[in-house]
Copies of this chain bind each other. A is one copy, B any other.
Amino acid sequence: MAKYNLRLNYIPIITMSLSKSVLITGCNRGIGLELVKQLLKLETPPKHIFATYRNPANSEELLTMAQSNPTLHPIMMSVTDQAAYDQVVQTVGEVVGEEGLNLLINNAGVLPQNRDLQAVTPQDMRDAFETNCIAPLFLSRALLPLIQKAATKSGDAAMGVAKAAIVQMSTAVASIAENSGGGTYAYRCSKSALNMSMKSLSVDLTSTGILVMAMHPGWVLTEMGGPNAQITTETCCQTMLQTLAGLTDKDHGAFLRYNNTSIPW
């Protein structure tokens, strides 16, 4: 008799409340969009989901969903536009008030097309670093007062996404230890740098009650993942939300796959 493959096929429904409020970047498509959908489907969905997108022209699905879901607050912004952060913080702050923001998922990312040593350009490196490392660090810093508010509000509650957390969307190909394929310089370097900034942030925020970690979403059938990817966006996000819901203080500063297994640096 075949056993269930717990990791990929059998996804238990999350009945717990994940977080009261969540902000996710890069929600017009792919993992960001699917995370929004899955959050809305939860038995106890978040009270507020802030979903950033860059361009209304290719964010139709997100914007249509928002029309029928008062829970969902779309926010137009480019994560690399640091000058826009103040306005975003103000918008979110006005909605969440004294409850603060429980969960920030820095999901927006870019994968430059030039992957080979002879093809990659310095500008590819800069672009990837700007979106994949600088943006998550500085958006986290900008939103920190709101996230700290949520952590303080939760008092002695255990660390986790229900209290206050920053999740940096990384990738297994950011693992230097597991880099046996070479190439992909711009993407790999920017995401290894993201892992490092996540680790420093986790150390710097140790006494705040805010959990900080890096997540590998799996090799997902998105525009970025391409047609040879291994899991659907639905499976990825269902499994990832399970893992996120189960995060505790032992995961502070960790680098985990969507299915809750650890990745070496």
Contacts and interface: CB of A to CB of B under 8 A. Distances in A.
Interface of A: 82, 116-118, 122, 125-126, 129-130, 133-134, 137-138, 141, 174-177, 179-185, 188-190, 192-197, 199-204, 206, 264-265
Nearest to A115: B200
Given A117-B201, A174-B196, A193-B196, 7 more contacts: A126-B129, A129-B193, A177-B265, A182-B206, A185-B197, A188-B197, A189-B197
A196 B179 contact: yes
Contacts of A125: 129, 133-134, 137
A82 B264 CA distance: 33
A182 B204 contact: yes
Nearest to A191: B196
B201 A176 contact: no
Contact of A200 (B130, B138, B182): B182
Contact of A189 (B82, B133, B203): B133
A122 B197 CA distance: 12
Contact of A181 (B138, B182, B194, B203): B203
B200 A192 contact: no
Going nearest first, the 7 A-B pairs with the smallest beta carbon separation are A182-B203, A189-B193, A192-B196, A265-B265, A182-B204, A176-B265, A193-B193
Q: How many copies does the complex hold?
A: 2
B122 A204 contact: no
A149 to B, nearest CB: 17
Contacts of A265: 175-177, 264-265
A138 B126 contact: no
A88 to B, nearest CB: 16
B203 A196 contact: no
A208 to B, nearest CB: 11
27 contacts: A117-B141, A117-B201, A118-B141, A122-B134, A122-B138, A125-B133, A125-B137, A126-B126, A126-B130, A129-B193, A133-B189, A133-B193, A174-B196, A176-B196, A176-B199, A179-B199, A180-B203, A181-B203, A182-B202, A182-B203, A183-B203, A188-B196, A188-B197, A190-B193, A192-B193, A192-B196, A193-B193
A184 B200 contact: yes
Contacts of A137: 125, 185
Nearest to A116: B204
Nearest to A189: B193
Nearest to A188: B196
Contact of A82 (B116, B122, B130, B192): B122
Nearest to A182: B203
